[in-house]
Amino acid sequence: MSSWPALFAAALAMWLVLRGPAAKKPSWVQRACRVAVAFFAYSGFLYLLKWDPFWKLLSVCNGPQKLDKKGTFLRWWAALKMKESQCPERVRVTHPA
């Protein structure tokens, strides 16, 4: 399965299975469904990034001018995600009334 629409469709199908028949199954079955959804969605995203018409569409729509190479974009995306994962959770501060 090397088509990104098929991978996203498989992720959607697994999510529907998780919400439907697998909702009453043991937790290990639900966890396996969640892993499958994450795998299919991530794989679909990676195949979308390797799809040349996607990058041509970005350039037509005045997309990122300096991010025309996939490697540069992927490094930027990875750095952004690492920075987000290192930031602490937002803490809600309540003031006494």
E strand map for the chain: none
In a shared domain, residues 1 and 36 = yes
Q: Higher confidence at residue 56 or residue 31?
A: 31
Q: Percent of the chain at pLDDT above 70?
A: 68
CA 79/CA 72 separation, integer angstroms: 11
Is a pLDDT exceeding 90 seen at residue 53? no
**Cα 89 to the center of its chain, rounded Å:** 20
Give the pLDDT band of residue 97 (cuts 50, 70, 90). low
In a domain, 57, yes or no: yes
In a domain, 32, yes or no: yes
* Per-residue pLDDT, 93: 59
Query: Does 97 reside within a domain?
Result: no
Residue that wins the pLDDT comparison between 53 and 93: 53
Domain count, the chain: 2
Query: CB neighbours of 56 closer than 8 A, spacing ≥ 6?
Result: none
Token pair 């469709």 is found at: 9
Same domain for 55 and 44, yes or no, is: no
Q: What pLDDT digit, counting tens, does each position of 21-52 carry?
A: 888 888 888 898 889 999 999 888 888 888 88
User: What pLDDT was estimated at residue 1?
Assistant: 47
Neighbours of 11 (CB within 10 A): 20
Flag whether pLDDT at 67 surpasses 50.
Answer: no
Q: Are 44 and 4 in contact (CB under 8 A)?
A: yes
Distance between terminal CA atoms of the chain? 59
Same domain, 11 and 26: yes
